[in-house]
């Protein structure tokens, strides 16, 4: 699974455009049918994840609003009861300045509680609609299709790059050989010492591989 995830992460690339809010998904696989299938399956998984996350958030918001609406309804009933009791106990409150102030205070409290209840009720009903509508917010503009030609090998690029690479490599080898020959003519003793050291190193490397091979055969 870990190897598959690493390989898929290297095969899938995406780009995002802030102006149009579009996401481009490119898949590089061995077979063209597999590339299209991976792209379409990736979009399906992202849409499913987006739907589940959005429904979960809406459900949590709905549960929160249910408690808030119930509490706001209780507060509204309590404010209405206080105003009703005040009117029943003070029928001539309009002739007393203190009672007029108390009545206005209770009326404002009732209006605030009623406005809060109505706002929460509207939000709760909108949340119910969002919870029922579980459609994904991702719109597929163009689905993944089988590519007409592979991205690699690009024979035009190879036709240009191989001769240039060969010419550059040949130039490096010829130039290195000329520099080494000139240095060998000027420093024959150092060249002999270098050749001897190279021969000893090559013999040591061959002996190491021979010993490993013999150990494997003996085991």
Structure tokens at 51: 């739907």
For 95-109, write each residue's pLDDT tens digit: 788 888 888 888 899
Tell me: pLDDT of 132 over 60: yes
Tell me: pLDDT of 185 over 60: yes
Residue 35: exposed, middle, or buried by beta-carbon count in 10 A (0-12, 13-18, 19+)? Answer: buried
Residue ranges per structural domain of the chain: 2-132, 157-218
For 12-26, write each residue's pLDDT tens digit: 888 888 888 888 888
């Amino acid at each position: 699974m870990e190897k598959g995830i690493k390989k898929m992460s290297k095969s899938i690339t995406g780009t995002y455009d802030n102006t149009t809010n579009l996401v481009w998904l490119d898949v590089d696989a061995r077979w063209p049918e597999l590339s299209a299938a991976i792209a379409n399956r990736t979009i399906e998984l992202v849409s499913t994840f987006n739907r589940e996350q959005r429904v979960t958030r809406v459900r949590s918001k709905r549960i929160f609003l249910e408690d808030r609406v119930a509490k706001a309804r209780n507060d509204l009933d309590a404010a209405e009861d206080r105003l009703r009791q005040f009117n029943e106990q003070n029928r001539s409150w309009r002739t007393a300045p203190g009672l007029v102030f108390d009545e206005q205070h209770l009326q404002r409290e009732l209006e605030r509680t009623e406005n809060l209840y109505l706002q929460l009720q509207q939000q709760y009903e909108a949340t119910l609609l969002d919870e029922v509508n579980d459609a994904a917010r991702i719109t597929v503009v163009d689905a993944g299709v089988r590519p007409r030609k592979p991205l690699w090998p690009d024979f035009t690029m190879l036709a240009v790059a191989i001769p240039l690479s060969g010419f550059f490599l040949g130039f490096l080898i010829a130039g290195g050989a000329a520099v080494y020959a000139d240095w060998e003519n000027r420093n024959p003793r150092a060249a002999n010492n270098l050749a001897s050291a190279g021969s000893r190193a090559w013999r040591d490397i061959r002996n190491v591989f021979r010993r490993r091979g013999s150990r494997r055969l003996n085991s």
